[in-house]
Chain A
Amino acid sequence: DVQLVESGGGLVKPGGSLRLSCAASGITFSNAWMSWVRQAPGKGLEWVGRIKDKTEGETRDYAAPVKGRFTISRDDSKNTLYLQMSSLKTEDTAVYYCTTAHYGYFDHWGQGTLVTVSS
């Protein structure tokens, strides 16, 4: 069974930083393209960004609202995906989900981790 387990969420002040992690099991992580998707409280789903696998140069793409502030990375030796978030804004408050995304659709999801940006 595929398992994706996010961690690292919490309360952070505007302008602060936070790093989320996503531990993967049940998949060949090194071959997997991975994405982050977020959901603000009571709102819809928003794609945050994607990282391809090493054979594709670990190419990264980001949504416009987070480009230049968020960085996606991966450690294939640890089967772990990361989302480094900096210059956080109140509008970044959301549940952040880690997903597999090899063809672009999201076939496996974690349970999510809540990030709250508030003073």
Chain B
Amino acid sequence: DIVMTQSPDSLAVSLGERATINCKSSQSLFYSSKNKNYLAWYQQKPGQPPKLLIYWASTRESGVPDRFSGSGSGTDFTLTISSLQAEDVAVYYCQHYYSTPHTFGQGTKLEI
């Protein structure tokens, strides 16, 4: 099974500042025949289901603000929030879908 490891476990960032969350997979998530990285990012606020932010490592889901961006390839990925807003306080998860089981990272709690 592919293991997903996020860092840090928690992060405090000031309003308007940049937040960076890292995700490392135990195997490459790049599928060469498709030229895609099989990685997604989610945001979960308290009491709510997770919300898809990014898929294919860098494609923003419709309606997601452009301050959210995803980057990386192979085994190392990053979620960046360019200018933190109060409503971005949440737990963020990465998830691979390269093969089953589709495992998640342990989550990163983002606070102000």
Contact = CB atoms under 8 A, between A and B. Distances in A.
Interface of A: 35, 37, 44-47, 50, 61, 63-64, 97, 101, 103-107, 109-112
For chain B, give the interface size range.
20 to 34
B100 A61 contact: yes
Contacts of B40: 104-106
Given A44-B104, A44-B105, A45-B104, 12 more contacts: A45-B95, A45-B107, A47-B95, A47-B100, A47-B104, A50-B100, A97-B50, A105-B55, A106-B42, A107-B52, A107-B55, A109-B49
A97 B95 CA distance: 15
Contacts of A103: 55, 97
Contacts of A63: 101
Contacts of B38: 104
Contacts, number: 58
17 contacts: A44-B93, A44-B107, A45-B93, A45-B104, A47-B101, A63-B101, A64-B1, A64-B101, A101-B102, A104-B40, A105-B55, A105-B97, A106-B40, A106-B50, A106-B52, A109-B50, A112-B49
